Amino acid sequence: MNKRPNWHEYFMLIAKIVSSRSTCNSRRVGAVIVKENHILATGYNGAMPGAPQCIDEPDINGEPFCYRRALNVPDIDKYNFCRASHAEANAIAQAARYGISVEGATLYTTLAPCYVCLKLIAMARIKKIYYEHPYESSSPERDAFWRKAVEEAGIEVFEQLTISPETYDYILSDIRELTSRRRLPPTPMSLNPSATSCLGPSAYHPEGSEGSPQEIPRHFVSRNDRVK
């Protein structure tokens, strides 16, 4: 039975792995920008290069350190004091840094974009957004405004994506075995003309000359044999 993730789950799983690099103690977020099933850029939320990272700071009163909370800045003004740049913004910045166009691309993110990132996404001409968790700010009115902004921005798809329990079971039950370790026994070192292969009994000798080995195709010849 084929248990591998579908494309949507595949990219969201990658976004979740990307989020493990986040340096934010409040919400770890990962984002992946994709076009035609190819990854263009990734990003996670964290402070600017060279700036202090909240994850590296000691706890305060038993709570993980947050620069903005340490200053007692209210939620309404958090973007002016948060050290972190958001995952979506960092993914777009990474693409821009390397000259990669994201026009018409799809964004997979573990958290629905805020209004600031949504404007950036729209300006970059990203057309589809799949998110795992809704933003759920402390202001329902603000959340409603953001949802309306999605329509105004011309985003074609803005959809919550849930990874199936079956996919989680497949990935997490034995992730150490999901490697390039050999699963099937190796084939013989030499070809037996009388052997029946998956291609048929005459795969390695010409039709009508059973028992007479055919010249082995070039792609079956080892590198050592080629250089002799």
Please, which residues bridge with residue 109 across strands?
31, 131
Question: What H or E segment, with its residue span, contains residue 13?
Answer: helix 7-19
Q: Are 14 and 76 in contact (CB under 8 A)?
A: no
Residue 53: CB partners within 8 Å, gap ≥ 6?
A: 23, 46, 47, 83
210 is catalytic: no
Helix (H, G, I), strand (E, B) or coil at 192: coil
Please provide residue 41's backbone torsions phi and psi, each rounded to the nearest 5 degrees.
-165, 160
- Given the residues 88, 103, 141, 159, the one annotated as active site: 88
CA dihedral over 214, 219, 223, 228, signed as positive or negative: positive
Helix/strand/coil percentages in the chain, nearest 5: 35, 15, 50
Helix locations, 77-222, DSSP H: 87-97, 115-123, 140-152, 165-173
Query: Active-site residues: which are they?
Result: 88
